[in-house]
Amino acid sequence: MFGFLLRRVGLVIPTFLGITLLVFLLIHLIPGNAVEAMSGERGMDPARYAQMAHDLGLDQPIYMQYFNYLGNLFKGDLGMSIMTHTSVMSEFKTLFPATLELSFCAILFALIIGLPAGILAALRRNTVLDYSVMGASLTGYSMPVFWWALLLILLFSVTLGWTPVSGRIDILFDVPPVTGFMLIDSLLSDDSGAFKSALSHLILPTIALGTIPLAVIARMTRSAMLEVLREDYVRTARAKGLSPWRVVGIHAFRNALIPVVTVVGLQVGTLLAGAILTETIFSWPGIGKWLVAAIQRRDYPVVQGGILLSAITIILVNLAVDLLYGVINPRIRHRS
């Protein structure tokens, strides 16, 4: 297991360096001038320009700039936002929990519904149930997130009035941020209504963001189950007279889970991409919305930092998935 761990972590390092290089070059590849892009000032007089270039380290050879960039990165310094003049890292820290909370709920929602739906569809292959699950998942997968989100708001918030339209909590509750996770902070806030409000605000964004992963998981689970159900050991288990629950729940499911875990890991990228739209529509103060605003305002340090941090998140999640994979399927970790 240790060797496996080392191999996987070893792979992460070059990936990480590759991403930092790409993100670093971003500022030099955009049209215009790196000093102006980094400082946000246009049409500076030459003396100020030289000073600015020096302050930002942009007067050094490019490889030195890259090493400086890496050095700052390890100190957790990603520069300052041009717009707000606060450090990119501190902005990320306040906004990331919101995205994490939403993404976690979305993936949980996708698993809770997607796994059983996929299993049921596989067991009742070629029945109305199977066709409905497959049809619904295809629809869910094809639905543009922003449109789906607006549709949910229109139906559940405006027409039926069941859920709030947007935000993380009813604006009248002034919940002090402690952990950054609204569900936890609202519980800590001694206001009994706050948690309920936070929960109700999570419902629609969770559904909107979780729908595509849900569809993917349902379809993947179904095909993995079908694959496994054809295997000899399942037939053997059945022949031995084990209960259908044991056959499906223990023998088949555990093996079917392996490809599903991979898919869930890959969905993290989709989640972060979907979060950009979902957060904008639901006014969810997370990194998706932050990045969109930064791009619109050409706040390059934020764009750079946001992309890098999102990429690191995806790498780390994929690493975790790989390791989990090794736990579920011992064969993987012994293969060199």
Single out the segment in contact with another protein by CB under 8 A; choices: 223-231, 286-294, 311-319, 326-334: 286-294
Q: Which of 168, 219, 222, 333 binds another protein (CB under 8 A)?
A: 168
Q: Which is nearer to another protein, 41 or 231 (CB)?
A: 41
Using CB under 8 A as the binding criterion, the count of chain residues that bind another protein stands at 41
Burial class (CB in 10 A: 0-12, 13-18, 19+), 248: buried
**179: nearest Cα among 93, 305, 288:** 93
Single out the segment in contact with another protein by CB under 8 A; choices: 147-155, 219-227, 235-243, 255-263: 147-155
Q: Which of 45, 61, 126, 174 binds another protein (CB under 8 A)?
A: 174
CA distance 303 to 92: 11
Q: Which 3 state secondary structure label does DSSP give 240?
A: coil
Find tokens 């609204």 and name the residue.
182
Q: Which of 31, 32, 75, 192 binds another protein (CB under 8 A)?
A: 192
| 275 is a site residue for another protein (CB under 8 A) | no
| 153 is a site residue for another protein (CB under 8 A) | yes
Least distance to another protein from the beta carbon of 164, Å? 6
The answer to whether 130 and 124 have CB atoms below 8 angstroms apart is: yes
| 103 is a site residue for another protein (CB under 8 A) | no
Using N-to-C axis directions, what is the helix angle for 62-74 and 2-29, rounded to 10°?
Answer: 130
CA torsion through residues 225, 227, 229, 233, sign:
negative
The count of C-alpha atoms lying within 13 angstroms of the C-alpha of 7, restricted to the half-sphere facing its C-beta, is 12
CA distance 216 to 137: 7
Q: Which is nearer to another protein, 12 or 83 (CB)?
A: 83
The helix (H) or strand (E) run that includes residue 35 is: helix 34-39
CA distance 56 to 38: 8
Q: Which is nearer to another protein, 91 or 322 (CB)?
A: 91
| 83 is a site residue for another protein (CB under 8 A) | yes
Find tokens 């639901």 and name the residue.
282
Q: Which of 46, 75, 128, 190 binds another protein (CB under 8 A)?
A: 190
| 281 is a site residue for another protein (CB under 8 A) | yes
Residue 48 phi/psi, 5° resolution?
-65, -40
| 180 is a site residue for another protein (CB under 8 A) | no
Q: Which is nearer to another protein, 139 or 283 (CB)?
A: 283
> Which residues make up the interface to another protein (CB under 8 A)?
39-41, 52, 55-56, 80, 82-85, 91, 94-95, 150, 153-154, 157-158, 161, 164-168, 171-172, 174, 177, 190-193, 280-283, 285, 289-290, 293
